[in-house]
Structure 1
Amino acid sequence: FTEIRQKIFEIIIKYKKPIKAYEILDVFTEVTGKRAHPPTIYRAIDFLIENGFIHKLNSINSYVGCFHPKVHKECYFLICKICNIYKECCDKNLTENIFKSANKRDFIVSNTTLEIEGHCNDCIQK
């Protein structure tokens, strides 16, 4: 890791909820005392995604750490629509079924980020 990639990875991992790129930029500046340009942050984010260290949650345009890097491509996410808390879940059978279904339809999958939105128990109880 470069110093910037390492710091951005630490920021994402330590953040308890999904974090947006400009929030990462703000925290990076606060923690390091250095102002990075957005393209620098995005390049580091892209590297971290490509190498299985983090995930992008497209539905909320945010990033989260990958807590199952050995099965990075077999994960799906449960995302609370109220508080944005998320759960990373891994299911090899689900992923295999998606790939099989796509292959039957002459489709090659390049990304299997599956996001399921709903409400967490804490928000339901409120």
Structure 2
Amino acid sequence: MQNSATSFPAPDHDHGQCLDDALSAAERLCAERGVRITPARRRVLELVWQRHAPIGAYDILSEMQKDADREGKTSAKIAPPTVYRALEFLMEQGLVHKVESQNAYIGCSHPEAGHDCGFLICRECGAALEIEDEKLSTLLKTMASRHGFTAEESTVEIKGICPACKAGAA
């Protein structure tokens, strides 16, 4: 997992390590919280973490169906509620976030603590970086409060060009 990540991953980074770290953290946190990470939940988390870009529920569903087909379970149909229930659990546990503008999901870089989040989303390659800044959270809550609104959570999505795409365009 990119717990200490403060920038987009380099094109040659070890993504397998990100996936391993994310799964280890999820298993540890779920054990500490007394909740189960079932095989379906684990597989959904793996699929979310397979890349550093948001993935839609139906793409996850498609991959899980391919898994069943590869395992010779051709009669086993994976139903959308299976994926949505797993995603709901993973969001409740703070292991994934929903990127609202894309109706897609991405792994949480900081699952140990609840937090408001923001994303830098590359419009070229689709990569997304979770950003966490207490000053931004405070600013958003203060702005809401000025209007008599009680902010409970917030997500900020900023679209632009990541460093790798920017370098490629130069």
TM-score scaled by length of structure 1 = 0.88
- The structural deviation recorded for 1:97 is 1.5
Deviation at 1:21, TM superposition (A): 0.7
Corresponding residue for residue 136 of structure 2: 94
The corresponding residue for 2:149 is: 107
What RMSD over aligned residues (CA atoms) do the two structures have, in Å?
Answer: 1.7
Alignment-mate amino acid for residue 46 of structure 1: E
Q: Is the 8 A contact 1:71 1:90 kept in 2?
A: no
Percent identity between matched residues is 36
Q: Report the counterpart of residue 84 of structure 1 in structure 2.
A: 126
Q: Which residue of 2 aligns with 1:13?
A: 49
Structure 1 stretches of at least 4 aligned residues deviating more than 4 Å after TM superposition: none
Alignment of 1:31-46 (within 5 A): 31-33=67-69, 34-46=76-88
Quote the residue 1:121 is aligned against: 163
Unaligned stretches of 5+ in structure 2? 1-36, 70-75
Contact 1:80/1:118, CA 8 A, preserved across alignment = yes
Partner Cα distance (2:39, 2:132) in 1: 30
AA in 1 matched with 2:62: D
The secondary structure found in structure 1 opposite 2:77 is: coil
Conserved? CA contact 2:96–2:108, under 8 Å = yes
Q: Is the 8 A contact 2:52 2:128 kept in 1?
A: no
How many residues matched?
Answer: 126
- Helix, strand or coil for the counterpart of 2:55? coil
Once the two structures are superposed, the pairs formed by residues 47-62 of structure 1 within 5 Å of their partners are: 47-62=89-104
Retained in 1: the 8 A contact 2:58–2:80? yes
CA distance, structure 2, for counterparts of residue 71 and residue 113 of structure 1: 15
Q: Which runs of 5+ in 1 are unaligned?
A: none
Q: TM-score, normalised by structure 2?
A: 0.67
